[in-house]
Structure 1
Amino acid sequence: MQRRNIRRLGYLSCALIGCAIAWGIYAMAKPVDEVVLTLGEPYEQVRKQSRSTLPPVEPGAFWAGYINRPAKFRFTDSRYQFVTPAAKFLTVGYDERGNVLSVTLSPQVETLPLDQAVAVMLELQDQLRRHGWHPIRARRFPPIDSTPAMIESIRRGDDPQTFWQAAGKYQVALDIRRFIHENRPKDERYLITLQLSGPPLMEDHLDDN
């Protein structure tokens, strides 16, 4: 009897281990959620071509769809495309005709240590440069970098911003700021925000370049 129980426990342990391995393989193979769009597309078309939890359109209303499961964002303009890391917060704004106007997201699933947050910002800016975007008002709002002066500016709460445009068609605003949790005020974590929009765009003042 005892041997039979030991054998059963062995079978059960093997089955549990097998299930855990199978679930791990499934989780790794499962496609990551992704919101895929270009500005001006119908919001419902975006829902169909994306793997995401974006809700149905609210007919006849200026509104925004919010995801409730982390998703990457892929901007699919043929010339000015870019992709972000997975975001826990992402909204897609649309007009009363149901066409996409804007996207706002934090390209992270949790607040990040400063070095990791800066690394994400640098990679996003590098994508923009490589795909034809250019910074505007760069004297007043320079691109984020990893210099000691910029790191100190972020740490002391200056909340630096940088603005990028593409051929008068699109604008991206990026900022990085410290996130202070009410229960952990000394925990140094940071949050990035990316906002994508179309015209009207900010004017690129000459005295800011």
Structure 2
Amino acid sequence: MTVQNNLFQWVRQHKILAVFAATLLVVGACKAAEILMPAKEIALIIGEPWKDMQARSTAEIADDIPNEIWYRVPKDLAYLKFADPKYEFVTPPAKCFSISFNRGFVYSVRMSPQVEPLPLQESLDIVLDLQNQWRKSGWELEDPIENPPYEDNTEWRKAIEQCTAYSTYWQARDFYSILISIGCFKDSRHPYEKRYLITMAIGKYIDYDSDTDNSTPHGK
């Protein structure tokens, strides 16, 4: 009996194991492709038409729903490029990444700018890099006394480790606003290690003391 016939006979006798092995091969191939394939870009400006974001981005994202308020998730692993030329910044690739629309316009972004829960230092490094980008492009802290920026020091490390680190808020004049925080996350793949998840939200700046609508993109 040939090797091919032996293999065929084994597969017939062990159908469940064969299916399981084939599934592992497919999943492994998908994971390998995901690692090897570079992340694509979602480039947007809060308040712009949804179709403008689609045209500018290399990552695929579905159409909005006419006259509805909802959200979409990029179909590819993607990073965010905030495309307002005056307040531009770029995040790392994000697995958790959603963009909401309001009747045809980009309304807000919610994401964790990482592909998996990370150790403390790696999480903090991402936030520090984003804060540096915001400072360079003109973003300012909304309340530097009550909600100061994240720093690489003992006080912040202790707060993050104890899951008590608060959010900090940034704004681009009266156009846009950002919330960012680092929280604890239980990762079943690393049961004996502490892991952390960054939460980041971007939307239009809302001045609750004013009736002005700032949903139009800056410079338009």
What band does the TM-score fall into relative to the shorter chain?
Answer: 0.7 to 0.9
Looking at structure 2, the residues matched to 170 and 133 of structure 1 have their Cα atoms a distance apart, in angstroms, of 9
Q: 5 Å matches for 1:33-182?
A: 33-96=40-103, 98-181=104-187
Counterpart residue identity of residue 93, structure 1: S
Task: Report the secondary structure of 1:54's partner residue.
Answer: coil
TM-score computed with the length of structure 2 as normaliser: 0.74
The answer as to whether partners of 1:164 and 1:173 remain within 8 angstroms in 2 is yes
Change (3 A) 1:191 1:65: same
Q: How far 1:67 moved relative to its partner?
A: 1.9
Q: Which runs of 5+ in 2 are unaligned?
A: 1-32, 210-220
The answer as to whether partners of 1:70 and 1:89 remain within 8 angstroms in 2 is no
Deviates more, 1:192-201 or 1:73-82: 192-201
Seq. identity, %: 31
Task: Report the secondary structure of 1:186's partner residue.
Answer: coil
Change (3 A) 1:192 1:27: closer
Q: Which runs of 5+ in 1 are unaligned?
A: 1-25, 204-209
Number of aligned residues: 177
Counterpart residue identity of residue 113, structure 1: P
The answer as to whether partners of 2:41 and 2:57 remain within 8 angstroms in 1 is yes
Q: How far 1:187 moved relative to its partner?
A: 2.4
Q: How far 1:39 moved relative to its partner?
A: 1.1
Counterpart residue identity of residue 59, structure 2: S
Counterpart residue identity of residue 52, structure 1: A
TM-score computed with the length of structure 1 as normaliser: 0.78
Change (3 A) 1:139 1:27: closer
Q: How far 1:28 moved relative to its partner?
A: 9.6
